[in-house]
Amino acid sequence: RARQALDSLYTHLVRKDAKLIQLLDPPFDKTTEDPGYIRGYVPGVRENGGQYTHAAVWAAMAFAQQGDAVRAWELAGMINPLNHTRDPAAVQTYRVEPYVLAADVYAVSPHVGRGGWTWYTGSAGWMYRLLVESLLGIRRQGDRLSLAPCLPDHWPSFELSYRFGRSFYEFVVTRSAQGQPTLQVDGIPQPDLTVLLRDDGHHYRVTLDLGAAPT
């Protein structure tokens, strides 16, 4: 059922032409019912049928949770403000800063693709969690750190650094053609595939092989 809902979202609310993900469609502009506050916006703007970036990020997170790396990364790329300012024409369409996240993007003509409220930390915080937790798969529970990345097919590996107090953890994540996932800390296998975080000033080297890529 969750998969069907996501397929419907992707089919009906993802606007690839404008690089935006609508919150809903059609907007509330002709109904005789009163949906409340949301109808205060122009149709196609913010919650009333535009891209409300909180929800757009949650959609990408949902695809990552389902293991659909292609759509998760595609939606993340559509949300990324840099991809709305690749050339002068795109800059004239987007019309807001390319280095901060916009809380909303208009979906109504003649302003389709125009960024709205920028410097809004709520959407930026969720975008950070999408990148770090959902896509790179970094999760911390107490003094344990684990990685369960949702990688695009063209990423055979990646590296990241993590500081914990005085300690420094250097991760090298690979994806082999066969086998089960393995994780080692300074060459010592960790059967539970987690890293114990120690604030001892040590420089740890962590290697994670994700095993066979999903088919």
Specify if 90 maps to a domain: yes
Residue 128 C-beta-side C-alpha neighbours within 13 Å: 7
Where does the pLDDT of residue 37 fall: very low under 50, low under 70, confident under 90, or very high at 90 and above? Answer: confident
Reported as type and span, the H/E element at residue 9 is helix 2-13
Position 213 scores a pLDDT of 63
Residues 127 and 160 in one domain: no
**pTM of the shown model:** 0.89
Instruction: Provide the pLDDT for residue 32.
Output: 82
CATH number of the domain bearing residue 187: 2.60.420.10
Strands (E), 8-73: 14-15, 20-21, 51-52
Q: Are residues 71 and 16 in the same domain?
A: yes
pLDDT at 214 over 70: no
Q: What confidence tier does 59 reach under pLDDT thresholds 50, 70, 90?
A: very high
Q: 97 and 103 in contact (C-beta within 8 Å)?
A: no
Res 84: pLDDT: 95
Number of domains in the chain: 2
Name the pLDDT band for 39 (thresholds 50, 70, 90). Answer: confident
Backbone angles phi, psi at 40, to 5 degrees: -70, -15
Q: Considering Cα of 33, then 38, then 44, then 50, what sign does the dihedral take?
A: negative
Tokens for 22, please give them: 């609508």
* For residue 195, pLDDT beyond 80: yes
Q: How far is CA 197 from the centre of its chain?
A: 26
> Mind listing the pLDDT tens digit for each residue in 66-107?
999 999 999 999 999 999 999 999 999 999 999 999 999 999
Q: Could you tell me if 154 and 119 lie in one domain?
A: no
Instruction: Based on the fold, state whether residues 99 and 175 are members of the same structural domain.
Output: no
Asked if residue 34 belongs to a domain, the reply is: yes
Token pair recorded at residue 185: 């800390």
- Regarding whether 100 and 20 lie in a shared domain, the answer is yes
Residues 8 and 67 placed together within one structural domain of the fold: yes
Residue 215, in any domain of the structure:
no
pLDDT digits (tens, 9 = 90+) for 107-136: 999 999 999 999 988 899 999 999 999 999
Output the pLDDT for position 1: 79
pLDDT at 211: 84
Confidence of residue 215 (pLDDT cuts 50, 70, 90): low
Q: Does the residue 77 lie in any domain?
A: yes
Q: Is residue 45 part of a domain?
A: yes
Please indicate, yes or no, whether residues 64 and 161 belong to a single structural domain of this protein.
Answer: no
Same domain? 12 vs 45:
yes
- Residue 27 belongs to domain spanning: 2-135
Is 52 within the bounds of a domain?
yes
pLDDT given for residue 110 in this prediction: 92
Residue that is last in its domain, among 103, 135, 167 = 135
Q: What letter represents residue 73's amino acid? A: W
- On whether residue 214 sits in a domain, the answer given is no
Domain end position, chosen among 77, 112, 135: 135
Please indicate, yes or no, if residue 159 is contained in any of the structural domains: yes
DSSP string spanning 76-139? Answer: HHHH-GGGG-SSHHHHHHH-S-SSS-BSEE--STTSTT-B-SBS-HHHHHHHHHIIIIIIS-EE
For 16-31, what is each residue's pLDDT tens digit? 999 999 999 998 888 8
Domain final residue pick, 79, 114, 135: 135
Give the tens place of pLDDT for each residue, 135-192.
999 999 999 999 999 999 888 899 999 999 999 999 999 988 678 899 999 999 999 9
Which residues have C-beta within 8 Å of that of residue 179, sequence separation ≥ 6? 209, 211, 212
Residue 96 shares a structural domain with residue 180: no
Based on the domain organization, do 88 and 167 belong to the same domain? no
Sheet of 195-196: strand order equals 138-141, 144-147, 195-196
Q: Is the pLDDT of residue 12 over 80?
A: yes
Element (H, E) at 6: helix 2-13
Residues 112 and 147 in one domain: no
Residues 117 and 156 in one domain: no
Give the separation between CA 134 and CA 39, rounded to whole angstroms.
Answer: 32
Can you say whether the dihedral through the CA atoms of 108, 112, 118, 123 is positive or negative?
positive
CB-based contacts of 133, cutoff 8 Å, min separation 6: 139
